[in-house]
Structure 1
Amino acid sequence: MTELSPVAISLREGLRRLAKAVVVITCRYNGARYAMAATAVSELSMDPPSLLICVNRSASLYLPLSEGADFCVNILHSDHADISAACAGKARGEERFATGKWGTAADGCPRLEDAQASFFCRYEQALDYGTHHIVIGRVEEVFLTDEVSPLVYANGSYVSLGAPITAG
């Protein structure tokens, strides 16, 4: 691994200040289930409905996605820190699905049943940039829960959101 430049170190420190909802990205590939915790996920377009995800090329999820696997983005609930930890490296392979209540789509893609929201995405296109694989998925199905209380990550730890702020 190469040493980080001063700009990269400052970038990493600056990004610690960017609070993000924690998601678990899942897929099924060659009969195996894959799951990875992430914060590098973004809405891309409403027409067509699409999401953009970024996956480190050293992650186990990289191979399935680089081969064009469809995937699901599950936004975690504030009570899902244990699922995030399992999918961030505490557990490996199929063990990552031992925590939480997992269902499947018709194509076998795993979905966290009590996620804040789950987005089933059809692989559209991807490119490699630096250490990451950037994937665009067309959203084909969405599942929502009623309560809005996402698990948020900032400055190296989980944080909770306060009451909503009313503009005006």
Structure 2
Amino acid sequence: MAMDRCLRIHRQCLRRARFRMSGCRPENIGDTQVTAEAPATEVDALTIEQAEAFKLGMRCLAAGVNVITTANAEGARFGMTATAVCSVSPTPPTVLCCINRNNTSLNAIKSSGAFAINVLSYRDHDVANAFAGAVLAEDKFKAGRWEAGSTGAPILATALASFDCKVSNIVSVATHDIVFGDVQSVHAAGAACKPLLYAHGGYGGFASAGISEMAFRDALSEADWTPDKLPIVTLSELRERSDSFDEDLRIAQNLEIVELREVNGAHCVDLLDAEVLSLIGDFRASSALDALGEDGILTLRLYAELTEQVARHEIALLSQLHHVLDKQKLAKVMHRGLTAGNAIMGVLHARAIVRKLR
């Protein structure tokens, strides 16, 4: 029943959008084509119950968190936190974002004809909060490190990726404007770091096994595969991604859970160790490590030792399957085991905390 209700609401919204867009007439503002909104007189508004159900349904739609920024000719900067962002086409590179017409950033984007989409990492939740708050536009930029992009739009130094765009078209639908941007340049992070997600009214992170099923299969398919063949990341790259990287590295070395190596004169770690360092940073960003103090380091050490024991036991079991399953099936078994193990550990951890708090 709930799904049917959501589908009915979705269809009503689509009908409203189609009606309004069918009566649109294009207007040119400078070099930007803007499609004006036609009056929606033939479509009934959603009931309060339907509107609440729609909002409830949309809260279940997990999305990446972004900060959309722009700057005017006088150098004043504007920005907002947004999840309604997506790719339109790779050729030519085009993106879009949906912005409420009451948001002051929208007028600034229309005036400047440019904007940037900054994709936030899990550690940038403070930036997301700053740009979602009702504060002066320039005060928002006190959170994070910013530099001007090729269009003049502010680029977040720690963003997973930043898309610097020129406005190509604007379409009005209901209460929002859909802003299309031609991508002028892309600033992508070379280091491993998890994206910041938003769902159910709160921020969260992306949980993964840290290595894909395909990576397992490729590794097992190479008879001479060794850890040295994993992709590497330089420490300088990782350091650029986080102000607290040196502290994360110190903790990892204290736990003896990462292996440093030197390649072409540069200090590096492999991609999996980079993932470990990223997760330590996420743990620190959650303030859990600071709250636990020295016990926090002990907890991580216990986790590291436990996973080593589990891995030894799992390898013993997998060695028996190695003669029964082909490499592709074996890779699937290993990956499912990791995914299930991560989920179980997370639930057990949460259950233990909740029971202690009750």
Going by fraction, where is helix more abundant, 1 or 2? 2
Task: Please state if 1:86 is matched with 2:144.
Answer: no
Q: Distance in 2 between matches of 1:166 and 1:59?
A: 43
Task: Please state if 1:17 is matched with 2:49.
Answer: no
Aligned to 1:147: 192
Superposition deviation, residue 62 in structure 1: 1.4
Alpha-carbon displacement from aligned partner over 1:101-134 (angstroms, at most 9, x marks no partner): 1011244210001100000011100011111011
Task: Please state if 1:104 is matched with 2:148.
Answer: yes
Matched residue count? 167
1:42 to 65, 83, 86: 86
Aligned to 2:69: 26
Relative contact order: is structure 1 or structure 2 higher (C-alpha 8 Å, sep ≥ 6)? 1
Q: Distance in 1 between matches of 2:146 and 2:112?
A: 22
Identity of aligned residues (%): 33
Q: Of the two, which has the highest radius of gyration?
A: 2
Aligned to 2:251: none
Task: Please state if 1:52 is matched with 2:96.
Answer: yes
Q: Distance in 1 between matches of 2:112 and 2:160?
A: 26
Which residues of structure 1 form unaligned runs of 5+?
none
Query: Does structure 1 retain, via aligned residues, the 8 Å contact 2:115–2:151?
Result: no
How well do the aligned residues superpose, as a CA RMSD in angstroms? 1.9
SS of residue paired to 1:86: helix
Name the aligned partner's letter for residue 145 of structure 2: K
Which residues of structure 2 form unaligned runs of 5+?
1-44, 215-331, 333-358
Query: Does structure 2 retain, via aligned residues, the 8 Å contact 1:28–1:69?
Result: no
TM-score normalised by the chain length of structure 1: 0.91
Note the 1:108-123 alignment, pairs <5 A: 108-123=152-167
Superposition deviation, residue 97 in structure 1: 0.5
Task: Please state if 1:126 is matched with 2:126.
Answer: no
Aligned to 2:50: 7
Query: Does structure 2 retain, via aligned residues, the 8 Å contact 1:151–1:158?
Result: yes
Alpha-carbon displacement from aligned partner over 1:59-87 (angstroms, at most 9, x marks no partner): 11111233362000000010111100110
Query: Does structure 2 retain, via aligned residues, the 8 Å contact 1:35–1:87?
Result: yes
SS of residue paired to 2:208: coil
Query: Does structure 1 retain, via aligned residues, the 8 Å contact 2:67–2:117?
Result: yes
Compared CA separation, residues 106 and 137, structure 1 to 2 (3 A): closer
SS of residue paired to 2:50: helix
Superposition deviation, residue 4 in structure 1: 5.9
Name the aligned partner's letter for residue 15 of structure 1: M
TM-score normalised by the chain length of structure 2: 0.44
Moved over 6 A (4+): none
Query: Does structure 1 retain, via aligned residues, the 8 Å contact 2:67–2:120?
Result: yes
Alpha-carbon displacement from aligned partner over 1:41-100 (angstroms, at most 9, x marks no partner): 011111111101001111111112333620000000101111001100153210010010
Q: Distance in 2 between matches of 1:4 and 1:120?
A: 39
Q: Distance in 2 between matches of 1:140 and 1:86?
A: 26
Query: Does structure 2 retain, via aligned residues, the 8 Å contact 1:71–1:109?
Result: yes
Superposition deviation, residue 147 in structure 1: 1.7
